[in-house]
Amino acid sequence: MKDRKRQLLRGAAIDPRPLEGQESVVDLIDNAFHAYNAGRLREACRLFVERMLADDATVGMSLTGAMTPAGLGMSTVVPLMQAGFVDWVVSTGANLYHDAHFALGYSTHRGTPFANDVDLREHGVVRIYDIFVDYGVLLRTDEFIRRVSQNEEFQRSMSSAEYHYLLGGYLREREEKLGIGHKSLLSVAREYAVPVYTSSPGDSSIGMNVAELALEGFDLRYDVSADVNETAAIVLDAKRDGGASGVLMIGGGSPKNFVLQTEPQIQEVLGIDERGHDYYVQITDARVDTGGLSGATPGEAVSWGKVDPDQVANAVVCYLDCTVGLPLLAAYALAKHKPREPKRLYERREEMMGHLVAAYREASAFRDARLKGSALPGVGE
């Protein structure tokens, strides 16, 4: 009984030093974030720094909603990419579309959620909660996307990562001409060969402009099957030869599921022996009991094969606003961990796909041999 009690109370005593007002982000999180979602954020920061940023770990980030108009692309995602802390990305198209504004020299502005939206509409201002954007910025960004997407290198079927890699090159050229430094996560992803996917290519202004070009007879098409298989290949490659796969999910939604579904694609669909992601960090304000957590808890993810059941201890969900949690986690990581050598996964897509196809064929041959002579229920009847 006493041994069990000591075991239950083995956690560090909560005994923080009084704040002095001179603390760094690391000092603040390590000293004052002990319980509730502050405690979860401290755990997430340490898991990210101490486990997920190991040299043999590959980090996939999902980015939901519209974080870039709030400046989080420039303030957090770009530095994480430059430090080698993010190896591949799945994002909403909205994040990537609004990211392009900054590379083109345009801006978003602090506003108020209590504005009169009829007044905004009359004066050509669009609102993203408390962010105001000149409607003309949207039109000029649309024009840029349509113009570059008409170029010859775009006129084929391609994964969304290929499209964003090409677009990122044009955005980087524009940044250099304007002399404005690194404003766009897509231009930085191009420079560091970080593949950037979108789980719903048509669900954004980028996809809308690509659809308009289809009406004009251009041949650009998104290959969504390539996205599914390429992301699965990234994860399978990460796990081979003793490596690890970690996922950093900012919000939920389709990008979160797309990052996580790589494991069911490998295991359930392709029949390749795998166990799930090793590290899992999510920052979200969604609730699980309403079905709104977008892929649910790490425990539920285990039941789908998305998370390795032996690694649930390496899974943390922070229930707080992403615009608060992500900058804190990024600042903590950048202060505590030296930069990693970029994995440049975009340049290895063909190699990784080759490994995936080989593993799939091997698994298929084994499955066919095992099922030979036995019919599946309802098949061939």
Domain 26-368 CATH assignment equals 3.40.910.10: yes
Supply the pLDDT for residue 2.
80
| CB within 8 Å of 253: residues ≥ 6 apart | 64, 65, 92, 294
Asked if pLDDT for residue 275 goes beyond 80, the answer is: yes
Average pLDDT over the chain, rounded to an integer: 94
Query: How many helices (H) does the chain have, and how many strands (E)?
Result: 17, 11
* Domain residue spans of the chain: 26-368
Looking at the chain, which runs of residues are DSSP E strands?
57-63, 88-91, 109-110, 125-128, 131-134, 157-158, 196-198, 221-222, 244-250, 279-284, 315-319
Tens digits of residue pLDDT in 123-180: 999 999 999 999 999 999 999 999 999 999 999 999 999 999 999 999 999 999 999 9
Asked if pLDDT for residue 3 goes beyond 80, the answer is: yes
Tell me the mean pLDDT in the region 211-219. Answer: 98
Angle at the Cα of 244 (from 92 to 190), degrees rounded to 5? 40
Asked if pLDDT for residue 341 goes beyond 90, the answer is: yes
Beta bridge partners of 196: 89
State the Cα–Cα distance between residues 322 and 316, nearest whole angstrom. Answer: 14
Amino acid (1-letter code) at residue 187: S
Going by C-alpha positions, the residue among 163, 302, 282, 159 that lies closest to residue 232 is 159
Q: Strands 109-110, 131-134: parallel, antiparallel or unpaired by DSSP?
A: antiparallel
The answer to whether the beta carbons of residues 60 and 259 sit under 8 Å apart is yes
Does the annotation mark 177 as catalytic? no
Angle at the Cα of 114 (from 111 to 115), degrees rounded to 5? 65
Choosing from 183, 239, 256, 306, the catalytic residue is 306
Amino acid (1-letter code) at residue 192: Y
pLDDT band at 381 (very low <50, low <70, confident <90, very high): very low
